[in-house]
Structures are given as structure tokens and as C-alpha cells.
Amino acid sequence: MSIVNRKIVLVSRPTGRPDDSNFRYVEEEVAPLDDGQVLVEVDLLGIDAFIRTTLDEGSFHRGAQIGGVIPALGVGEVLDSRDAGFAKGDKVFGPLSSQTHAVMPAFTLRKLDTNVAPANAWLGALGLTTGLTAYFGIVDVGRVKKGDTVVVSGAAGAVGSMAGQIARLSGADKVIGIAGGSHKTKFLVDELRFDAAIDYRNENVGARLDELAPNGIDVFFDNVGGEILDDVLMRIVEGSRIVICGAISQYEKMDDVRGPRNYLKLAERHATMEGFAVFHFAQHYARGEGQLAEWYRNGDIIMREQIEHGVENFPAVMNMLMTGGHHGKLLLKV
């Protein structure tokens, strides 16, 4: 059985916005499996913000190699296995990357229970980089409690939209989302039941926060960094928790990041800025997934998805994510 893997590889590291010259489309026959390897036919890839940082030398996240595929989490079906833990037909989740057929070490894969939730939900509402990230950020890092005023940046994105919904389910009194464009702010309020949303492209974020959170901000879940983080820092109160999940505004210039200029407000107001990545909570995944699956089945959380098509469009879909030209969880059906 000869199988052709169609893939996108990195040919040079971008400075700033990636363009076509940084990538190449390649077709290559899949080599026979070694012991402990599993061949997966990739179905869907999650297009996450961390992917951009993997393109840099010595990247913040685990890096892409020149000539190699671009890291991305995905779901797929086992075609062939030389590991006792996996059999043909199993649905699996793992770092399948920018290709149609992935030869994976078995330990990097996880079998999915599609009775708990359909395969796409494992990249969305229950996904590692989406639902679980939002869950640990809001529950364990932000420690959102009854009565809190919670602000989420990048709120229409996959993590942000989950974070806001989980904050509400955790007892927050007011959940305010920040996103770019009125179609997104409308979506946050009308479909995801955020209490309010700020369009950072067309509104003054600081002034709107003053109106919407006159008593200050208890918890900020930040996916964006830059000026928005500084706007929020000006409005923290004693005991506020700033949760640093990401900084998409900075990922295209990681060698010249804008640090939060108002960080001394942390001292003035005895507040905390705590960062995390989902893998820091690896021992607690079962708890997070259990809670998320329950909410998902009860219809308490909504994950909007935007599905693009074709592995050859991987670079273009990644740029769509970076420029905010999408809506909800961005998936690529390869």
C-alpha cells in the first residue's frame, strides 16, 4: 500500500508576518512504520496562535524545524499501527501538524472517546489549547469567584470565548469581552451571553472599561498583550488577578515585545500577574475534561467553529488567525 503524504513545510523563518516564501507544499510517500509508530490519517487541525511562535528560532513554544512540518494539534483516524495501544480505525488526538498523513510515536497520541463528545469538540470545547486552556486559566489561575468582574481579551477567539463562558459558569457577576469588530462583539453578547463587549478597533478601550467596570476589574484573562493589557492594569483593584495566557499582538515581533508599562500598578494595588500554559496542569486534565464535557452536553457552553479546507491552505489560514479575520475556533480540514 503506497500512501502519499501531502504537507506544508517551513523553508525559512519569517520576520513579522509570514508570507508564501516561508513555506513549501510537498508530496512524499509515507515510509514503512517502525516499532512503536502509528500512521494517522489527519482529519482536522486546530489553528492556534501558538503556531506562529513555533516558526521563530528558539521559539517560546516548541519550534518548527527548517524543512519540517508546522506544529499543530489535530484529530484523525489510525490507518496502521505498530504499537499495542492503537488499532486501525481508532480516533486519535495529537500534534499531527501540517500534513495529511502523520507517522507518530504512539506516546504522543491519545485515543478519543467519541461517545463523550464528537471528534471536532476535542479540538474545540474540550480541546487542549482551547477549552482546557480556558478552564485552567479561569478556575485555577484566575480563581474566578462569585461576584467578580472578569475581562477577557481576544474574546471571540477559541480560548477567549470559552474563558468568558467558564467565568460566567464560575459565578462571575459581570463578564466583559474585548474583540475586534462589531460582528464579533455582537456575537459575544447575543450568542455567548457575555454581559458586554468592547470593539477595540472602533472604541476607546480604557473609557469603555471605566463605564462597564466602574468598580474595577477583578480578573483579566489576557490573550493579546500590548496596549489592552496596559489599559486593564490601570483599572485593577486590590487583589486582582491578571492571567497571562498569550499575547497574540506580540507574536510577530517576539524579539521586541512591548512589556506592560503599567506593571507597577501591581505594587500599588497588591495584585498578581500569573502566567500559565495548559501543560502545567497535565495532572488535572481529567478534572477539566469532565467538567467541560458536562457543560458541553448540557448546552451550557457554545463553541463556534470556522472550518477551512485543504492542507495547502495552512499558511493562509494561519495568517487569517493572526489578523483576526476569523470567528471562533479556526479548524482546517485537510
Residues that bind its own copies (CB under 8 A): 60, 225, 230, 238, 244-247, 250, 256-277, 280
Shortest Å distance, C-beta 269 to its own copies = 7
d(CA 2, CA 79): 12
Q: Find the shortest distance in angstroms from Cβ 297 to its own copies.
A: 30
Cell numbers for 184: 464579533
C-beta of 84 vs 282, nearer to its own copies = 282
Q: How many degrees, rounded to 5, is the angle at CA 285 between CA 71 and CA 147? A: 110
Scanning the chain, the segments in alpha helix (DSSP H) are: 50-54, 133-135, 158-169, 182-190, 205-212, 226-233, 265-268, 285-298, 314-322
For residue 91, what are the CA distances in angstroms to 25, 48, 77, 102, 130? Answer: 26, 21, 5, 13, 19
Nearer to its own copies among residue 17 and residue 280 (C-beta): 280
Contact status, residue 45 vs residue 98, Cβ threshold 8 Å:
yes
- In this complex, which beta carbon is closest to its own copies, that of residue 137 or of residue 177? 137
How far apart CA 220 and CA 149 sit, in angstroms, is 9
If we measure between CA atoms, which residue out of 47, 103, 14, 10 comes closest to residue 325? 47
| Min dist. Cβ of residue 49 to its own copies (A) | 12
Integer Cα distance of 329 and 304 in angstroms = 6
User: Which residue, 105 or 259, is less far from its own copies as judged by CB?
Assistant: 259
Pick 111 or 280: Cβ nearer its own copies: 280
Query: At closest approach, how far in Å is the CB of 34 from its own copies?
Result: 32
Rounded-to-integer distance, Cα 27 and Cα 200, Å = 42
> Least distance in Å: CB of 61 to its own copies?
8
Confirm if 139 and 148 have CB atoms less than 8 A apart. Answer: no
Minimum CB separation from its own copies for residue 266, in Å? 3
Query: Between residues 6 and 269, which has the closer beta carbon with respect to its own copies?
Result: 269
> How many helices (H) and strands (E) in the chain?
9, 15
Rounded to a whole number of angstroms, the minimum distance from the CB of residue 147 to its own copies is 21
**67 vs 259 by CB, closer to its own copies:** 259
